[in-house]
Amino acid sequence: MTTSEIRPSGPAEPRMTTKGEPLTARQVDPPEFAYRDELDFLAAYDSGPRPPGWRLTPRAVVTFVMGSGEPLAAGKGQRMTISPKFVGERAMVERAVVTLAGERGLLLVGEPGTAKSMLSELLSAAVSGSSQLVVQGTAGTTEDQLRYGWNYALLLAEGPSPRALVPSPVLTAMRTGAVARVEEVTRCLPEVQDALVSILSDRRIAVPELSGSDDSTVHAVPGFTVIATANLRDRGVSEMSAALKRRFNFEVVGPIADLATETELVRRQSKAALGRVNAEYTVDDAVLEALVTAFRDLRNGVSEEGWTVDRPATVMSTAEAVSVATSLGLSGAYFPGGRDMAALLPGHLLGVVRKDDPADQARLLGYWDGAVRRRAESGAALWRTLWDHRDDLSQ
């Protein structure tokens, strides 16, 4: 039997209803839809031991997140190259998967824009087939959003009953043995964090309104666990208690270390964003590299050459770099006519740096008067163009 190459999942094909009609398109597909073919392939490819309730083996979960690098061979002569989705340390991802396999809470911490949420989505999609059991932590998040609420029309009509109970994403994950996600856990108030302590400790939720029935306590089934995220830069509403910290394994998600790797990631994600609106990607490689270089210089407080750079207070994250690259691409697509994208870059950078502190505009000007000027004087044509547009930063 000849082998057949299965192409890696790219933009998902339009989904159809049972009547053959196209479903409404989504701006962004959850990973369980966007990479459905890869997940199905990996489930057949690796038949090794799986923790209770898992869709894939731990090894296949890591492969799904990090990519295979080369085609993998499954049964019936099928082959597929698994695309890389997260840029970071493989060892960190392996530790995260081991944590989930032990049904222990996983806390992903790091600077904003380092793909913590994306990693939690990928892990939950690979482990339990859904990334959508999520609670967004805010100052307004209540205990009900972690535990359960009520359909008040049914509650008034028939009193407390299982039919009137509205389960939270966490309660649904407990019932089905899935992964629940809690975003920005440090933005939750202490009483909400305390409810999470109870859930992670007891692995059950009491429903006193249903006392006397079999539904008065919901016990977590095997496979249930929680992935939470927290920003190092934004400490949130309240610090995590020591009790809550003890119930999580911490993993730090850091910025991308390599310039070429970060540039490729920015190119790939901005190109995908342009593809979603059917726009041609016209951002020049040199402009893209200059964009990522500027972000890295300002983020690290030192240039690639070792020159000191005054760091702005705002977060110069990879996610922000993707946003700027996408904006440059959209400018080229919707305002054609040979516009020099390098000339547009200073204005977009200014929009990024002055989000938090007005003094950051002066810091960006200092970067232009230092690293940008020195590169321009060395004869680099693109950096000369950037230097020529210094006045755009004085607005």
* Tokens 């049972």 belong to residue: 18
Residue-wise pLDDT tens digits, 285-303: 999 999 999 999 999 999 9
CA-closest candidate to residue 35, choices 80, 99, 74, 5: 80
* Residue 9 pLDDT: 42
* Residue 14 pLDDT: 53
Q: What are the b/e assignments for 257-293, b being 16+ CB within 10 Å?
A: eeeeebbbbbbebbbbbbeeeebebbbeeebbbbbbb
pLDDT of 337 above 80? no
Question: Residues 188-201: what's their mean pLDDT?
Answer: 92
* Residue 12 pLDDT: 47
Residue-wise pLDDT tens digits, 87-114: 999 999 999 999 999 999 999 999 888 8
Q: Does 75 or 328 have the greater pLDDT score?
A: 328
Residue-wise pLDDT tens digits, 199-246: 999 999 999 999 878 889 999 999 999 999 998 776 656 788 889 999
Residue-wise pLDDT tens digits, 22-72: 556 777 889 999 999 999 999 999 989 999 999 999 999 999 999 999 999
Residue-wise pLDDT tens digits, 301-326: 999 999 999 999 888 999 999 999 99
Residue-wise pLDDT tens digits, 128-157: 999 999 999 998 999 999 999 999 999 999
Tokens of 362: 């002066």
Tell me what the pLDDT averaged over the chain comes to.
89
pLDDT of 75 above 80? no
pTM for this one?
Answer: 0.86
Question: Residues 366-376: what's their mean pLDDT?
Answer: 96
pLDDT of 15 above 80? no
pLDDT band at 327 (very low <50, low <70, confident <90, very high): very high
CA pair distance 359, 312, nearest whole angstrom: 8
The rounded percent of the chain whose pLDDT value lies above 90 is 73
pLDDT of 4 above 60? no
| Helices within the chain (DSSP H only) | 31-34, 36-45, 58-66, 90-101, 116-128, 143-146, 152-158, 169-176, 190-202, 242-245, 259-276, 285-300, 318-334, 341-353, 360-367, 373-377, 381-388
CA pair distance 126, 50, nearest whole angstrom: 12
